[in-house]
A and B are shown apart, each in its own frame.
Chain A
Amino acid sequence: MTDVKKIATRESYGNALKELGDEHEDLVVLDADLAGATKTGIFKAAHPDRFVDCGIAEANMIVAAAGMSTMGLVPFASTFAMFAAGRAFEQVRNSIGYPHLNVKIGATHGGISVGEDGASHQCCEDFGLMRTIPGMTVMCPADDVEARAMVKAAYEMEGPVYMRFGRAATPVFHEEGFNFQIGKGEVLRDGTDVAIIATGIMVPEALDAAEELAAKGINARVINMATIKPLDEEIVLAAARDCGRVVTVEEHNIIGGLGEAVAGVLSEKLPTPVKRIGVNDEFGHSGPAAELLEQFGLCAANIAKVTAEFCA
């Protein structure tokens, strides 16, 4: 995919906020001294009066956003995934989740692909943390087009949303204007030998893996699961029925994330062999994003290898 356009979904997040902010006076953005990195600075430049920097105080930011939402505003609270879902977990749980307030959490720098900063900043636990909060919508876009559509959809829905965006520039493969729906998976490639269900920046890797598998005579269905909760159970069950084997791929600990969500549905409703590809319950370390992804097996080559073994 060398000639494909690449954009980091955090960039998409900032651009979408700015555009939405142009249209909607009630949209406010909070950040915790990371506007340059989370790209909320794009919004800030256009709408400085509706940008609230909270300083390096994520716990206060999350609950202040909750308070703002009760005043008729639609706050987007932004920081790195590690601090939004991790540090401020209990604030999200008690002050946004429990009262079911209309706060959107835009968490950037999710996963191993944070790269050089190392394990302290590579959040591979956020899907698990956020998924266990009742009523929380949890999403992770696969590319720039989807990310921008997701931010718009999050603004339009009522209730708490957690969105994870990436630091690294990744391929754009959706057509502009495609119909994004919260809670709906997307079949990107049909196949009946095995279904690969991926989320976030693992989706283009899964598509490339499917090409490699096709060369070996394995016909893989590839599903983009941008919404991790509520999970599109229908598309998961159909994949299991049609393919008989399901592989999940996520830039997240194999504990608590998309893999367990899919396995949970299948084990109860249609027991099917599942292979989870993700970070294998270990911490990351420093290095360039692409090298790390390869090292941790979060790349097309490994997805193809594991899937082929799984199908053997």
Chain B
Amino acid sequence: MTPEEKKELQLAAIEVREGILTSTHGAKSGHPGGSLSAAEMFTYLYLKEMNVDPANPRDEHRDRFVLSKGHTAPGLYSALALRGFFPKEDLATLRHVGSYLQGHPNMNTVPGVDMSTGSLGQGISAAAGMAKGAKLTNNDVRVYTLLGDGEIAEGQVWEATMFAAHYKLDNLCLIVDVNGLQIDGRTADVMNSEPLDSKFEAFGCDVVKIAGDDFGQIESAFARFHENKGTGRPTVIIMATTKGKGVSYMEDQAGWHGKAPNDDEYKQGMAELAEARAQLEA
């Protein structure tokens, strides 16, 4: 990745973050914290990694993405808008009566959403089913799913991981956003999910650990996923992140899991993002 490409992605991630603030502010509710922690991942998936076409969002040969941590829909929607699946202006209608941007992803109303999610632990099973379905139909596509580190406590996550390894789904990439926080506090205190790497390894997956805000590391992790084709091993990318990343008062605060910024907070957050953009462009 050239410095120019990296800068371009960093600028795009700022745009994704702005969309997250704008949509949750407009909704007066929603989940900014875990959306912001995965902003670089959403950005890279939709701008670089996945083979998708906004003009043909249901193309059967597209790559699939399932947001298993469905409450971070603002992050997904923001990336979809940036990629051109729908107008960015619509982000402000998130969670409004009559808006197609439902509080949690709805595959039947939002262009580019491949699976309706929101109930934790289920998206990973849908993604595993898609990957198995792709193999059964000789459809050479890749399937990605993003989970939270709190979500890992759902037993179904491990049912799905066992299934993925058993059926040698090397076309499946599980991404875990380890921001260390969940609604009730630190994941380590609420229900410790660590060590995640050895758990997934024991289930038969190839595990890559990265810093989730580093585009170079994201690129390398996906390169390894591509190389795993033919090995029969599902890939797990465990990314260390900061909840609320990019908005100072939200960073590493469990309280910003499911709370929207008020007018003043919104103004401040947007100003901080504008400042980050100015610094990058300088």
Spell out A's residues near B (CB within 8 Å): 28, 49-50, 52, 54-55, 57, 59-60, 62-73, 75, 90-91, 94-95, 98-100
Residues of A within 8 A of B167 (CB): 52
Contacts A60-B128, A67-B125, A99-B116 given; does A73 touch B156 at CB 8 Å: no
For the complex formed, measure the closest distance between the CB of A84 and the CB atoms of chain B, giving whole angstroms: 15
13 sample A-B contacts, Cβ–Cβ < 8 Å, listed by A number: A50-B136, A52-B167, A55-B162, A63-B156, A67-B129, A67-B133, A69-B133, A70-B114, A70-B133, A71-B137, A73-B136, A95-B126, A99-B106
Which of A69, A72, A95 is the most central at the interface, judged by chain B CB atoms within 10 Å of its CB? Answer: A95
For the complex formed, measure the closest distance between the CB of B52 and the CB atoms of chain A, giving whole angstroms: 14
Distance, CA A55 to CA B115, complexed state (A):
24
B78 contacts partner chain A, Cβ-Cβ < 8 Å: no
For the complex formed, measure the closest distance between the CB of A306 and the CB atoms of chain B, giving whole angstroms: 42
B223 contacts partner chain A, Cβ-Cβ < 8 Å: no
Residues of B within 8 A of A59 (CB): 121-122, 125, 155-156, 159
In the complex, the chain A residue whose C-beta lies closest to that of B108 is A99
For the complex formed, measure the closest distance between the CB of B82 and the CB atoms of chain A, giving whole angstroms: 24
Contacts A90-B119, A94-B122, A100-B108 given; does A65 touch B159 at CB 8 Å: no
Q: Is the CB–CB distance between B128 and A99 below 8 Å?
A: no
In the complex, the chain B residue whose C-beta lies closest to that of A30 is B129
For the complex formed, measure the closest distance between the CB of B171 and the CB atoms of chain A, giving whole angstroms: 11
B270 contacts partner chain A, Cβ-Cβ < 8 Å: no
Q: Is the CB–CB distance between A66 and B159 below 8 Å?
A: no
Distance, CA A146 to CA B136, complexed state (A):
30
Contacts A57-B162, A64-B160 given; does A70 touch B115 at CB 8 Å: yes
Distance, CA A64 to CA B108, complexed state (A):
18
B231 contacts partner chain A, Cβ-Cβ < 8 Å: no
Residues of A within 8 A of B115 (CB): 66-67, 70, 95, 99
Q: Is the CB–CB distance between B107 and A73 below 8 Å?
A: no
For the complex formed, measure the closest distance between the CB of B166 and the CB atoms of chain A, giving whole angstroms: 8
In the complex, the chain B residue whose C-beta lies closest to that of A68 is B133
Partner of B116, one of A55, A73, A91, A94: A94
Give per-residue flags for B151-178: 1 if the beta carbon is below 8 A from chain A beta carbons, else 0: 0000110011011001100000000000
For the complex formed, measure the closest distance between the CB of B234 and the CB atoms of chain A, giving whole angstroms: 13
What is the total number of residues of chain B having a CB less than 8 Å from a CB of chain A?
34
Q: Is the CB–CB distance between A71 and B139 below 8 Å?
A: yes
For the complex formed, measure the closest distance between the CB of B275 and the CB atoms of chain A, giving whole angstroms: 40
Partner of A57, one of B60, B126, B159: B159
Distance, CA A62 to CA B125, complexed state (A):
8
Distance, CA A68 to CA B125, complexed state (A):
10
For the complex formed, measure the closest distance between the CB of B8 and the CB atoms of chain A, giving whole angstroms: 32
For the complex formed, measure the closest distance between the CB of A73 and the CB atoms of chain B, giving whole angstroms: 5
For the complex formed, measure the closest distance between the CB of B258 and the CB atoms of chain A, giving whole angstroms: 19
Ranked nearest first, the 9 interchain pairs of A and B with the lowest CB-CB distance are: A67-B129, A71-B133, A64-B129, A63-B125, A60-B159, A57-B159, A67-B126, A68-B133, A99-B116
Residues of B within 8 A of A64 (CB): 125-126, 128-129, 132, 160, 163
Q: Is the interface of A mostly helix, strand, loop or mixed?
A: helix
CB contact list, B245-281 vs A, under 8 A: none
Q: Is the CB–CB distance between B122 and A91 below 8 Å?
A: yes
Which of A49, A64, A66 is the most central at the interface, judged by chain B CB atoms within 10 Å of its CB? Answer: A64
Partner of A67, one of B106, B127, B156: B127
Other than the given A55-B166, A95-B122, A99-B108, 8 more pairs (CB < 8 A) read A52-B167, A60-B128, A60-B159, A64-B163, A67-B132, A68-B129, A75-B129, A91-B125
For the complex formed, measure the closest distance between the CB of B110 and the CB atoms of chain A, giving whole angstroms: 11
For the complex formed, measure the closest distance between the CB of A46 and the CB atoms of chain B, giving whole angstroms: 16
Residues of A within 8 A of B137 (CB): 71-73
Residues of B within 8 A of A54 (CB): 159, 163
In the complex, the chain A residue whose C-beta lies closest to that of B166 is A55
For the complex formed, measure the closest distance between the CB of B203 and the CB atoms of chain A, giving whole angstroms: 13
For the complex formed, measure the closest distance between the CB of B191 and the CB atoms of chain A, giving whole angstroms: 18
In the complex, the chain B residue whose C-beta lies closest to that of A99 is B116
Contacts A67-B115, A94-B122 given; does A60 touch B160 at CB 8 Å: yes
B118 contacts partner chain A, Cβ-Cβ < 8 Å: yes
In the complex, the chain B residue whose C-beta lies closest to that of A64 is B129
Distance, CA A71 to CA B134, complexed state (A):
7
For the complex formed, measure the closest distance between the CB of A30 and the CB atoms of chain B, giving whole angstroms: 9
In the complex, the chain B residue whose C-beta lies closest to that of A25 is B137
Residues of B within 8 A of A75 (CB): 129
Distance, CA A62 to CA B159, complexed state (A):
11
B130 contacts partner chain A, Cβ-Cβ < 8 Å: yes
Q: Is the CB–CB distance between A94 and B114 below 8 Å?
A: no
Distance, CA A212 to CA B241, complexed state (A):
73
Q: Is the CB–CB distance between B136 and A28 below 8 Å?
A: yes
For the complex formed, measure the closest distance between the CB of A300 and the CB atoms of chain B, giving whole angstroms: 43
Partner of A63, one of B114, B122, B131, B133: B122
Q: Is the CB–CB distance between A60 and B130 below 8 Å?
A: no
Distance, CA A60 to CA B126, complexed state (A):
8
In the complex, the chain B residue whose C-beta lies closest to that of A62 is B125
For the complex formed, measure the closest distance between the CB of A133 and the CB atoms of chain B, giving whole angstroms: 14
Distance, CA A52 to CA B137, complexed state (A):
14
For the complex formed, measure the closest distance between the CB of B68 and the CB atoms of chain A, giving whole angstroms: 10
Q: Is the CB–CB distance between A63 and B162 below 8 Å?
A: no
Q: Is the CB–CB distance between B132 and A72 below 8 Å?
A: no
Which of A55, A62, A67, A98 is the most central at the interface, judged by chain B CB atoms within 10 Å of its CB? Answer: A67
For the complex formed, measure the closest distance between the CB of B104 and the CB atoms of chain A, giving whole angstroms: 9
For the complex formed, measure the closest distance between the CB of A97 and the CB atoms of chain B, giving whole angstroms: 10
